[in-house]
């Protein structure tokens, strides 16, 4: 991957919903750049993060969202939507993404999924 590909500013924003589509205190899941992205609205700001819970893959966008924390609907792991940190151990983070409102569109900037580096045989 080239350095330019890692520069988030080169990635365009993608509209996912209109202002008002996501009620205060709720999240919704959208497919963007081949990934599932959860977008939450806290009544003032929108927040976007990877939708897949790192525990067993539940959709975080459908989890309860209170006081800036989303709770996974399967086993109740909680994550801060501002930075993706798991509340029980901040070293584990879910990827978060830039969000903006342009006119009445909610837009997110999501890089394509990263390739996984697999070990090679000598
Ligand atoms: S799948 Fe999210 S806590 Fe288990």
Query: Distance from the CA of 60 to the center of ligand 1, in angstroms?
Result: 9
pLDDT tens, 27-57? Answer: 999 999 999 999 999 999 999 999 999 999 9
CA of 116 to the centre of ligand 1 (A): 22
User: Is 94 among the domain residues?
Assistant: yes
Model pTM score: 0.88
pLDDT band at 13 (very low <50, low <70, confident <90, very high): very high
- Residue 66 in any domain: the answer is yes
Instruction: Give start and end residues of each alpha helix (H) in 25-92.
Output: none
| Cα 10 from Cα 24, distance rounded (Å) | 30
Judge whether residue 1 has pLDDT over 50.
no
CA angle 117, 91, 60 (to 5 degrees): 80
Total domain count, the chain: 1
Pick the atom of ligand 1 nearest to 76's CA.
3
Pocket of ligand 1 (CB under 6 A): 53, 55-58, 72, 74-75, 77
Domain for residue 98, yes or no? yes
Whether 70 is in a domain gets the answer yes
What's the CA gap between 52 and 105, in Å, rounded? 24
Cα torsion angle, 82, 90, 96, 74, sign: negative
Determine the Cα–Cα distance for residues 104 and 13; give it in Å rounded to an integer.
14
Residue 37 within any structural domain of the chain: yes
CATH number of the domain that 48 lies in? 2.102.10.10
| Nearest atom in ligand 1 to 53's CA | 2
pLDDT interval class at 122 (50, 70, 90): low
- Domain extent, residue 67, equals 23-109
């Amino acid at each position: 991957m080239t350095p330019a590909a890692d520069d988030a500013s080169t990635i365009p924003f993608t509209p996912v919903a209109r202002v008002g589509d996501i009620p205060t205190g709720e999240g919704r899941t959208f497919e963007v750049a081949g990934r599932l992205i959860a977008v939450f609205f806290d009544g003032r700001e929108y927040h976007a993060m990877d939708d897949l819970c790192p525990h067993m893959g539940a959709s975080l966008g459908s989890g309860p969202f209170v006081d800036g924390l989303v709770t996974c609907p399967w086993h109740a792991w909680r994550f801060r939507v501002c930075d993706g940190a798991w509340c029980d151990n901040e070293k584990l983070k879910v990827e978060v993404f830039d969000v903006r409102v342009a006119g009445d569109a909610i837009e997110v900037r999501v890089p394509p999924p990263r390739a996984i580096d697999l070990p090679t045989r000598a």
